[in-house]
Chains A and B, each alone.
Chain A
Amino acid sequence: MTIFLAVVRMRSQSLMAELVGNYAYGERSCPSDATDVSGVASEAGKADGVKKLLVADDASLDGLLPERVAPVILASQKQFNFTHIVGPSTAFAKNVLPRVAAKLDVSPISDVLDIKSEDTFVRPIYAGNAIQTLQTSDAVKILTVRASSFDAVGTSGSATPESAPKAEGVKLDISTYVKSEISKSERPDLSSAKKVISGGRGMKSGDNFKMLYDLADKLGAAVGASRAAVDAGFVSNDLQVGQTGKIVAPDLYVAIGISGAIQHLAGMKDSKTIVAINKDAEAPIFQVADIGLVADLFQAVPEMLEKIDKFKSK
């Protein structure tokens, strides 16, 4: 098992944006259950702006445990003295990068929305209800960036993979990867989907989510959920959209039977078009929805399923 690290020395602001894109790109093409790094590495090498591609290919990295991945990043840092170490705001990078930061005595910056200069960054606080601009005085800047706030880069690069420096002082006995239970789905990945259909408590049961899957399949959309739907056991937690789940910003977000609590809005209010279907006309979701339909979802969704093909072909 393997991990790849794509790191670029940053000299200018424009390069930073590229770097951010590269990471968003790299992550998408690097599933954590990949067994061979060469495919991932060659794909990452094609990302525009990548000047150097370091590959750590070691069986001990199976499962990408932070106790083993962080030393690889630290060894690379020691050799190349990067000014910035960047990862996407995914479960993997959120797990590893703060550990790296502690080792370098750096205050990391999470979930960056915008890069103002080499040391000034913009990020959301209070579930996205305030936007903070901060300047860091640390010598090395360690960031996780919100992928939905940056465009993915092109794929005409040609960096050649080379071996990452050997990690030092790795304690193999303190943590063990056992297994993953990954929900398999044919639908697009929630975080990067162009369209998302989400259900909430109003769906009443897990079985009723079938309507949303059908609608999603007709639209080529991913399916998401509110915390209430996850807590009620309708769907698995990796579908949760919100402050503590996934942050999405698709072209179209359809919220069905979701009231629109602050914590849910934090995860989807940057979507381009928001549609809400709810029988409660006072639900807060209507305050952010571009198109709202006050209706019983158990009538509206089947009707949409029936009529959508006709509209699509118009």
Chain B
Amino acid sequence: MSLRILVGCKRVIDYAVKVRVKPDHSGVVTQGVKHSLNPFDEIAVEEAVRLKEKKHASEIIAVSCGPAACQETLRTALAMGADKAIHVEVSEAEYATLQPVHVSKILAKLAERTQANLILVGKQAIDDDLNQTAQMTAGVLDWPQGTFVSQVEPEGDSLKIVREVDGGLEHIKVKLPAVVSADLRLNEPRYATLPNIMKAKKKPMEKLSAKDLGVDIAARIKVVNVAEPPVREAGAKVENVDELLGKLKDLGRI
């Protein structure tokens, strides 16, 4: 069965940035901070492109929900090999309370609209760390889910999947259409080359709103406070192993 893949691309603060909490405790500082494609979504895009290179997939559509800057994120996915992009524009204000409960409904509507039979997303976004979107999208659509996936292989009208679970690995098989979420070890994402970045500028990008899709994105949560985590007291360095073991003994840890 030829795959038509919808791949979720979230724009997040770059993983290497040390985030700072806003002085008014309403959130973290995002202005002027380097953003990039969520690392897990990068893995999802890479897997989609590999499936297409192996002739399992016919088309890859990258999707991002959020403010206008998400279009840069989508261009990255296009430069990696996605065929076209859909930007579901959400205002900055609405984006602050946009949750997987909303995104999953948007993805479900888009799957219908694009006749996708595989939705690939990262297992979690490194900003909210929720780890929900794949599972919820599968729930909305009543499709099977393969989450935290480290290996995926099409076989007839199904996917053979290896999942990373507590204690080891799990093998399952899901029937298409399905939702899959990528874990770190699924693949090593490629770098977009300059010629591909140039080509990506010419690839089609459709702009929609949640309203166009009939999805209500009213807030479900209210952020009461965002605080710095407790700071650890600076520790001491020891000179040698004897001192180290002595201290551990004194603390009752050995």
Contacts and interface: CB of A to CB of B under 8 A. Distances in A.
A308 B148 CA distance: 39
Interface centre among B135, B233, B246 (most CB of A within 10 A): B135
A176 B129 contact: no
Interface stretch (A18-26, A97-105, A156-164): A97-105
Contact of A137 (B145, B147, B221, B228): B221
A99 B226 CA distance: 27
B167 to A, nearest CB: 5
Interface string B42-84: 0000000000000000000000000000000000000000000
A237 B164 contact: yes
Interface string A238-275: 10000110100001100000000011000001000111
Contacts of A132: 223, 225-226
A118 B234 CA distance: 36
B212 interface: no
A48 B254 CA distance: 31
Interface in A103-162: 103, 105-111, 120, 124-138
Contacts of B238: 291-293
A90 B166 contact: yes
A179 interface: yes
A94 B139 contact: no
Interface string A33-76: 00000000000000000000000000000010111001000000
Q: Determine the main DSSP class of A at the interface with B.
A: mixed
A286 B238 CA distance: 11
A296 to B, nearest CB: 11
Interface stretch (A7-15, A205-213, A299-307): A299-307
Nearest to B242: A307
Contact of B127 (A70, A125, A180): A125
B135 A98 contact: yes
A172 to B, nearest CB: 11
B225 A101 contact: no
B153 interface: no
Contacts of B172: 63, 65, 175-178
A174 B127 contact: no
B144 interface: yes
Interface residues of B, number: 83
A283 to B, nearest CB: 12
B13 to A, nearest CB: 7
Given A263-B15, A311-B254, A92 B101 contact: no
Nearest to A136: B221
A63 B169 CA distance: 12
B69 to A, nearest CB: 18
Contacts of B174: 174-176
A230 to B, nearest CB: 8
Contact of A131 (B18, B183, B228, B248): B228
Contact of A275 (B171, B242, B244): B244
A27 to B, nearest CB: 9
A288 interface: yes
A285 to B, nearest CB: 10
Contact of A292 (B133, B138, B170, B235): B235
Interface in B115-140: 123-124, 126-133, 135-140
A288 B144 CA distance: 42
Interface in B142-162: 142-145, 147-148, 150, 160
Contact of B171 (A97, A98, A135, A178): A178
B253 A182 contact: no
Nearest to A244: B184
A244 B124 contact: yes
A95 B124 CA distance: 12
Contact of A238 (B136, B168, B245, B247): B168
Given A100-B139, A311-B245, 9 more contacts: A99-B138, A99-B145, A102-B101, A176-B172, A176-B173, A181-B168, A181-B171, A292-B238, A307-B242
8 contacts: A107-B100, A126-B19, A126-B129, A138-B220, A262-B18, A273-B253, A289-B235, A307-B245
- 5 closest A-B pairs by beta carbon, nearest first, are A102-B139, A98-B135, A290-B235, A178-B171, A102-B136
